[in-house]
Structure 1
């Protein structure tokens, strides 16, 4: 039987049937854009990643990342899942070491990943290809609250206010008072769409966060909604965590040095996820950052296309 092998991973979790499910299609060269988009719609997961031959001989593979409706220049859980899939395939065929470096070509640029495999779920950590940048999106808190089905007095905590950031994909970071408010958030997609200014590329999705957490070793509890991409709610969003580093830096005034944060997501969906964000600060600015998480393979098959 001919075809392309694919794997399904649950990413940003070390347990099956939690985290963010991802389809990884290997040997995807020969598929055109329309075919990849239709295949992503067939899987109907938040993202499907297509792995092809790298343009540079110094890189491991080229990635194309699709939601059910559109292509993304960069995303966190496809990067983690694809890096682990490639490392596991290399280990199976050539006895590669448990720790390896994978260089991935994405539309946002080259992404360096370190993969560690062991007896349990594998772990991958990648350097952000772009550091978070602030975007000038003047959105009134009252309007954001209405789009999320919340009261305007429930927006913000401490000195955290609404801010918009991108590390390749834009997000509107919306601080809310506590876990109770975060759990009640329900996005009115039409109203949200009417608030956003017109711009090229992906539209900015709301990334709701609070300091109160379910897991006491985590620093933030978050939710992300992207209905325009065919994702009513996402169980884990690495690209949003990358952008969120800018909001943390702005509002928490991180001192020089290395900082690590665990971010919980997907709990309201019954798909608990854990994303590790590491930020290096020098002279009051972020100089580098990394996203990491586990992934476990839950299915595999052959795509007969």
Structure 2
């Protein structure tokens, strides 16, 4: 028995840019353990599985897996799945997808896909101080704008604001064990470093996978959380473009906006690069 899958690059400006993703559009009948094994087999940052929706007015329900665990929400799998389903099912320009963290509104315009969330935002302080996060990232204390903060608009992530694009480009995490100890307050070790100048954001996302620090090249959920952070600080409406992945050789380009009501929209271009059939055990 085999099931189809599609390979796409999300937030891509070129064929080999963006963040790779595997999409399984016919996942009904696959249990969580099998989906986790398939995600581990592909070993991409995420693999997304499409199921029948729980509510009839929605288009589909998504299950999103990293190689090691399932996520309640992630941006680039949601957008990549939307791109594939739009082409396969002839969906209209707007519709709703379900994730474990809630409903996500989708909009299409050519190869560009955007998602909008209305989940509200939660924030929490971190045990990491401004000086500690600077040291963890290999930076001087005055390269960091403030102490990092936890943000949740669908999934908890630790956001560290830096003072310049150069600081973002130069940062890195050399000590995986320390990273695991100091950033896993919410169960998952990860850190989103970002800086904003004149409506442009440059960012990098670090997370732990199989005991090693890995860099994600395009993180839609973190872009959503950044919008949530701006809203929580009464800085909305706000809009920006986000550059991510350049340091890893996979340029990603995202758009993010948050309105005065707290609706956060993140989008980018999606490119299909392959398809096939996965043989099930």
Q: How does 1:72-87 map to 2 (within 5 A)?
A: 72-87=71-86
Instruction: Work out which of the residue numbers 195, 210, 235 in structure 2 matches 1:254.
Output: 235
Partner of residue 13, structure 1: 12
Partner of residue 171, structure 2: 185
SS at match of 2:163: coil
Matched, 1:266 2:245: yes
Matched, 1:123 2:123: no
Change (3 A) 1:71 1:261: same
Q: How does 1:1-305 map to 2 (within 5 A)?
A: 2-91=1-90, 99-117=92-110, 122-156=111-145, 161-187=147-173, 188-196=175-183, 198-199=185-186, 202-203=187-188, 205-211=190-196, 219-228=200-209, 232-249=214-231, 253-254=234-235, 258-281=237-260, 286-305=261-280
Work out whether residues 137 and 197 of structure 1, in 8 Å CA contact, stay in contact via their aligned partners in 2.
Answer: no
**TM score, norm. by length of structure 1:** 0.84
**Cα distance in 1 for residues equivalent to 2:267 and 2:62:** 18
Instruction: Give the CA deviation at 1:6.
Output: 0.6
**Cα distance in 1 for residues equivalent to 2:73 and 2:276:** 25
Instruction: Give the CA deviation at 1:218.
Output: 5.8
- Number of residue pairs matched by the alignment: 278
Instruction: Give the CA deviation at 1:245.
Output: 1.4
SS at match of 1:7: strand
Change (3 A) 1:231 1:138: closer
Instruction: Give the CA deviation at 1:52.
Output: 1.2
**More moved, 202-211 vs 60-69:** 202-211
**Cα distance in 2 for residues equivalent to 1:266 and 1:88:** 27
Instruction: Give the CA deviation at 1:161.
Output: 4.7
Runs (5+) with no aligned partner, structure 1: none
Q: CA RMSD in A?
A: 2.1
